Amino acid sequence: MNYFKESLLQLLGRDPTRPTEEDKSPEVKIIHFRKKGEKYDREAVQKEHADHDSKKWLRRRWITLILVNLLFVLSYALDIQLLEGALTASRFFGFHMADLNSALQVTLAYKHMLINLVIGTATIFILWFLLGGRTFCSWVCPYHILSEWTEWLHLKFVEKGWVKDHDFHRGTRTVLYFIFALLAFFTGYTVYEAISPTGIVSRALIYGPGLILLWVGFILLIELLYSRRFWCRYACPIGLTYGLVGQISPLRVIYTVDNCHHEGECRKVCLVPHVLDTVIKGKATDTEVPIGADCTRCGLCIDACPTNSLKYNFKGLNKLL
């Protein structure tokens, strides 16, 4: 199985394919064979998980996300010109930065690219190439944390039987990506930027709230009552744009199959659970498998795993973070 191709197709919306025996390395076949008849003490594993710091990366991520957005707010409020603008376009110490999807929308709408936009796009591309593409979604995007809190409530409502969760085809995001691109090109207007909850929430935090926040509230209401993480999973082209960067990024989450008990705790908490299809018993194609480009590098699966079978890895460096 070609990992690069499989990762890209999953990012674009295809369901994970089941690997054949020919896809699996000889080493992982031995591990799978051993695990077929393997029994383990579930109570001991649960105790190990209870002793495990299950919120280390969650805390780090929330702190980072809040501090980044607070820096925008304080720079504007105190007029210190440290981090000017908003997440869609900004300047850090006077150096231009531009969100990749916003830059694409502007370029398509105006049919040319300004030099500052070129500089800003190159800067952000290098930054998120090094940090893993969709890391932006879970570590920086202010809408993400609202959606994450809404997801927690949604799951409580589902548990009580008050609502049901509804899935959409993940390829919807890819279709919308091209629709928004075509709208920008033919209308000369950055249509997506007008409705992007990422930009709306970022600007509201910095410059003050407006009626457009009702749109964000409407999306959150859908996620609360109808479909878990609807916007991020099925609609947001920003996630797809950064996922394409993450496809070639050296920073990723690595799954090591040997010590995994396949209890499924990681998949329960994952924001994009299809990327963890490889952790299902018998599906890993090698002893170590990189998680696909749609992974947000949020760290929730790492926190949830009691056996450290999931870890951050920077390709080319032996040390696991």
What are the DSSP calls for 276-290, one per residue?
Answer: GGGGSTT--SSSEEE
In the prediction, which pLDDT does 44 show? 63
> Computed over its alpha carbons, how large is the radius of gyration of the chain?
21
Average pLDDT, stretch 212-226? 97
Query: Mean pLDDT, to the nearest integer, of 207-235?
Result: 96
Note the pLDDT of residue 306: 84
Note whether 32 and 24 are within 8 A (CB): yes
- Asked whether 106 and 118 are in contact (CB, 8 A), the reply is no
Q: What is the model's pLDDT at position 51?
A: 58
Task: Sort strands 89-92 and 288-290 into parallel, antiparallel or unpaired.
Answer: unpaired
> What pLDDT was estimated at residue 53?
59
pLDDT at 130: 92
The per-residue pLDDT for 3 is 81
Residue 166 above 80 pLDDT? Answer: yes
Q: At what angle do helices 56-77 and 197-207 cross, to 10 degrees?
A: 50
What is the structure's pLDDT at 2? 79
Q: Is the pLDDT of residue 278 over 90?
A: yes
Q: Where are the domains of the chain?
A: 3-39+251-314, 67-244
- Rounded CA-CA distance 307/53 in Å is 12
Q: What is the pLDDT of residue 41?
A: 62
- 108, 183 contact by CB (below 8 A): no
> In residues, how long is the chain?
321
Q: Report pLDDT for 320.
A: 46
Mean pLDDT, residues 278-290? 92
pTM as predicted: 0.90
- Residue pair 300/275 in contact (Cβ under 8 Å)? The answer is no
Please say if the pLDDT value at position 319 is more than 60. no
* Paired strand residues for 84: 91
- On whether the CB atoms of residues 196 and 181 are closer than 8 A, the answer is no
The pLDDT of residue 39 is above 80: no
* pLDDT at 309 exceeding the cut of 50: yes
| pLDDT mean across residues, the chain | 90
The answer to whether 119 and 229 are in contact (CB under 8 A) is no
Tell me, what's the pLDDT at 46? Answer: 63
What whole-number percentage of the chain has pLDDT above 70? 93
- Give mean pLDDT, residues 151-161: 95
Is pLDDT above 90 for 192? yes
Instruction: Answer for the pair 190, 184: CB distance below 8 angstroms, yes or no.
Output: yes
Q: Is a pLDDT exceeding 90 seen at residue 217?
A: yes
The tens digit of pLDDT for each residue in 101-146 reads 999 999 999 988 888 888 899 999 999 999 988 999 999 999 999 9
* Residue 321, pLDDT score: 46
Helix H segments across the chain?
3-12, 26-36, 42-51, 56-77, 100-110, 115-131, 135-139, 142-160, 171-187, 191-195, 197-207, 213-225, 230-234, 237-246, 265-269, 300-304
